[in-house]
Structure 1
Amino acid sequence: MNDPQTFEIFLVTVPGLEQLLCDEALERGFAGAVAVPGGVTFQGGWPDVWRANLVLRGATRVLARIGGFLAFHLAQLDKRSRKFPFGELLRTDVPLRVHVTTKASKIYHAGAATQRIEKALTDTHGMTLDPEAELILKVRIDDNNVLFSLDTSGESLHKRGHKEAVGKAPMRETLAYLMLRQAGYTGTEPVVDPMSGSGTFPIEAAEVAAGLLPGRTRSFAFQHLANYDAAAFDAMKSVPTKQPPAQFYGSDRDAGAVRMAQANAERAGVDAFTHFANHAAGELTPPDGPAGLVIVNPPYGARIGNKQLLYPLYGTLGKTLLTRFKGWRVALVTSEPALAKATGLPWKPQGPAIAHGGMKVWLWQTPPLR
């Protein structure tokens, strides 16, 4: 196993937004973080694993690279797996499951490799296996190098633990945060979402402004490892919160969505500075006070079917923003560039594609409207 004091930690994120997560990790004090395809990597210890799960808003999950070895055939994989010190981290009373991938290796059959590793875990190490277990041992066999990683998060980190109600096409909290960040949001300005659904953008923005930790109310897979220190982790949760310098607004033409958003805001503890209203996007007016950010995830073709029906909606939204929201920046999520252009808004050059719900989307942005 790796030096128990330091090992590679891998933060999984949405493809296309790795650098945004890397910037967040560096801001949060994870020194040496580097963006790589699919995520961010850095060297750290177990307290860094716990803290990454607790404080990072853009990470989907946190993997701990716990070590590995070379193996050129299944018998060698079996023998070396039996000698690997799994007992230093894994508890025999906590079930786990094994997930194996192979690439460019003499061991090319992932199913056979899985069987050998599972047998070593049960026969030699006394572990309990369960195909539904939250704790996952990920095994990557690449060019005959076997690398063991533990998924320390459990459920995806977009599940903050306090959002129960979701709409038909929910925006994941992790992606919402990274898009807010991409749009230049730092927690000091008001945010308006005119098609807020279950309230993800306003609630996420409010949590950032209040200094609330994203993982404050949920549990994690690492809490079932042999080296987990509950007192040390509880101490990490003791961080001061603050009164946000701005307010956060959402609206939706669906009254049920507005009720969901209000309930989610209450559970998140941000209902004192989030406001949700029931009306169409064309009725939107700016709140009193300074300009800020309008961010919206409207319907688009892949989610609706006939995108021709959406052009009037986008046109109305654009006209409303151009007429009433002078000085505000706009960020809009869509899979259809033509729909974005139908708003008539002064978009900056199209940015990189973002993977979302099995499709590619873009975050279109404007400078402050004039």
Structure 2
Amino acid sequence: MESPGSLDILLVAPPGLEPVLAEEARSRGFAPAEPGPGGVRITGGWPEVWRANLELRGATRVLARIGAFRAMHLAQLDKRARRFPWGETLRPDVPVRVEASSTRSRIYHAGAAAERVSRAIAETLGAPVSDDAMVVVKVRLDDDLCTISVDTSGESLHKRGHKVAVGKAPMRETLAALFLRQCGYAGTEPVVDPMCGSGTFLIEAAEIGLGLLPGRTRSFAFESLATFDAAVWERMRTQAAPPAPPLRFLGADRDAGAIRMAEANAGRAGVEGVIDFRRQAISDLVAPEGPKGLVMVNPPYGGRIGERELLRGLYGTLGKVLRAGFSGWRVGIVTSEPALARATGLPFLPPLPSVPHGGLKIGLHRTGPLP
């Protein structure tokens, strides 16, 4: 059993972006922040678990390991699960759900393992077991070692609680935040999105610039654990934001419905005062006055919204407008089709690894400051 002050915490990351999340975690004071397949490992007590859920923009969820033991067969798993100190973490009045996985273990039936652990929790702690419980216990059997973790997030952390309205191909907030970081965005420069859709990139950028924490208005599964301290959490959640730079953000889209969605989402996030949304075609895009910054865009791509060949002209127009009017600005384009990115004619830096999103592999294509 881990001691209360040294939990092994896994920050689940979008596949391929583990090193980027590790950078973010280090920047927020989490240690050791070691990236690996599927996530980033940090250590700390329960307050670190709460703070990770509250502050980290790129994490998908936060798992806390609460113990481990060897189990060679189901009877042994059952016996040791019944001796496990569930009451140190779980509450008898809060429903739980158990999910299990098995790799290279003699207990190879994950469903049977989950059933045994569920029964042990119900009969020793008294907690009800429910398929739709927010508190999820994760049982991982790997080489006969049974590791017990609890999902402290509940709903995926990309659900900030602000973006109710979305378009056809919404960008997840967690991905948007990590892509912004890969483009060098740190909250101190303007951001323009000429195909803003429901406004994800701009809302994330504005929150970063204003020092607003991503989890500030939502609830989490850890609030229903026995380890939760409401007074400490309230102090953590209501810390004052640092002074914000006087930034302006610009979002454009030719779809009036998209602009209405984006404005409503920005209002719910509390950043409507710093983002200007306008209905506008790409060909009419003009760089805002003032300091140079970042153009961040997730255009439609073939196989998802439209046919690739029909989109080449759109990407070509985007590249022409940016090359002509955005000297000194950096550009980040997210697409599943490298050929469409190349159709912009922009001077991209070496490619980054692609990441899965909505059944596709998408990639971020970045430039340095445009000439």
- Contact 1:326 1:368 (C-alpha < 8 Å) held by counterparts: yes
Instruction: Tell me what 1:296 maps to.
Output: 297
Q: What is the alpha-carbon distance in structure 1 between the residues aligned to residue 352 and residue 5 of structure 2?
A: 40
Instruction: Tell me what 1:170 maps to.
Output: 170
CA shift, 1:244, in A, is 2.9
Secondary structure, in 3 states, of the residue corresponding to 1:202? helix
Q: What is the alpha-carbon distance in structure 2 between the residues aligned to residue 57 and residue 304 of structure 1?
A: 27
- Contact 1:82 1:125 (C-alpha < 8 Å) held by counterparts: no
Amino acid at match of 1:342: A
Question: What do you get for the CA RMSD once the two structures are aligned?
Answer: 0.9
Q: What is the alpha-carbon distance in structure 2 between the residues aligned to residue 247 and residue 287 of structure 1?
A: 9
Q: What is the alpha-carbon distance in structure 2 between the residues aligned to residue 110 and residue 234 of structure 1?
A: 38
Instruction: Tell me what 2:222 maps to.
Output: 222
Cα deviation, 1:76-127, whole Å, max 9, x if unaligned, reads 0000000000011111111110000001111011111112111111122211
Cα deviation, 1:50-69, whole Å, max 9, x if unaligned, reads 00000001101000001110
Secondary structure, in 3 states, of the residue corresponding to 2:272? coil
Amino acid at match of 1:195: M
Cα deviation, 1:181-216, whole Å, max 9, x if unaligned, reads 000001010000000001001110000000000000
1:300-319 → structure 2 map (5 Å cutoff): 300-319=301-320
Secondary structure, in 3 states, of the residue corresponding to 1:272? helix
Instruction: Tell me what 1:197 maps to.
Output: 197
CA shift, 1:234, in A, is 0.8
Q: What is the alpha-carbon distance in structure 2 between the residues aligned to residue 52 and residue 173 of structure 1?
A: 16
Q: What is the alpha-carbon distance in structure 1 between the residues aligned to residue 244 and residue 10 of structure 2?
A: 33
Aligned residues: 370
Instruction: Tell me what 1:285 maps to.
Output: 286
Instruction: Tell me what 2:131 maps to.
Output: 131
- Contact 1:77 1:116 (C-alpha < 8 Å) held by counterparts: yes
- Contact 2:206 2:271 (C-alpha < 8 Å) held by counterparts: yes
- Contact 2:159 2:173 (C-alpha < 8 Å) held by counterparts: yes
- Contact 2:64 2:151 (C-alpha < 8 Å) held by counterparts: yes
Secondary structure, in 3 states, of the residue corresponding to 2:318? helix
Percentage identity across paired residues of the two chains: 62
Instruction: Tell me what 1:208 maps to.
Output: 208
Cα deviation, 1:113-169, whole Å, max 9, x if unaligned, reads 112111111122211110011110000000000000100000000011122111111
- Contact 1:189 1:245 (C-alpha < 8 Å) held by counterparts: no
Amino acid at match of 1:156: S
Instruction: Tell me what 2:67 maps to.
Output: 67
Instruction: Tell me what 1:187 maps to.
Output: 187
Instruction: Tell me what 1:333 maps to.
Output: 334
Instruction: Tell me what 1:110 maps to.
Output: 110
Q: What is the alpha-carbon distance in structure 2 between the residues aligned to residue 27 and residue 304 of structure 1?
A: 36
Q: What is the alpha-carbon distance in structure 1 between the residues aligned to residue 63 and residue 126 of structure 2?
A: 23
CA shift, 1:342, in A, is 0.5
CA shift, 1:43, in A, is 1.3
Secondary structure, in 3 states, of the residue corresponding to 2:128? coil
- Contact 2:335 2:363 (C-alpha < 8 Å) held by counterparts: yes
Amino acid at match of 1:132: D
Moved more, 240-249 or 107-116: 240-249
CA shift, 1:305, in A, is 4.4
Extract unaligned runs of 5+ from structure 1. Answer: none
Secondary structure, in 3 states, of the residue corresponding to 1:304? coil
Moved more, 98-107 or 302-311: 302-311
CA shift, 1:245, in A, is 3.1
CA shift, 1:249, in A, is 1.0
Moved more, 123-132 or 239-248: 239-248
CA shift, 1:240, in A, is 2.4
Q: What is the alpha-carbon distance in structure 1 between the residues aligned to residue 119 and residue 157 of structure 2?
A: 30
Q: What is the alpha-carbon distance in structure 2 between the residues aligned to residue 186 and residue 66 of structure 1?
A: 34
Moved more, 298-307 or 4-13: 298-307
Extract unaligned runs of 5+ from structure 2. Answer: none
Secondary structure, in 3 states, of the residue corresponding to 1:302? coil
Amino acid at match of 2:149: S
Q: What is the alpha-carbon distance in structure 1 between the residues aligned to residue 112 and residue 355 of structure 2?
A: 35
CA shift, 1:302, in A, is 2.3
Instruction: Tell me what 1:42 maps to.
Output: 42
Q: What is the alpha-carbon distance in structure 2 between the residues aligned to residue 252 and residue 326 of structure 1?
A: 22
Q: Runs ≥4 in structure 1, deviation > 3 angstroms? A: none
Q: What is the alpha-carbon distance in structure 2 between the residues aligned to residue 76 and residue 265 of structure 1?
A: 53
Q: What is the alpha-carbon distance in structure 2 between the residues aligned to residue 45 and residue 243 of structure 1?
A: 30
Instruction: Tell me what 1:249 maps to.
Output: 250
- Contact 2:216 2:237 (C-alpha < 8 Å) held by counterparts: yes
TM-score by length of 2: 0.98
Instruction: Tell me what 1:96 maps to.
Output: 96
Secondary structure, in 3 states, of the residue corresponding to 1:301? coil
Q: What is the alpha-carbon distance in structure 2 between the residues aligned to residue 201 and residue 116 of structure 1?
A: 44
Amino acid at match of 1:33: A
- Contact 2:61 2:153 (C-alpha < 8 Å) held by counterparts: yes
- Contact 1:185 1:293 (C-alpha < 8 Å) held by counterparts: yes
- Contact 1:347 1:364 (C-alpha < 8 Å) held by counterparts: yes
1:238-277 → structure 2 map (5 Å cutoff): 238-241=238-241, 242-277=243-278
- Contact 2:300 2:306 (C-alpha < 8 Å) held by counterparts: no
Amino acid at match of 1:231: A
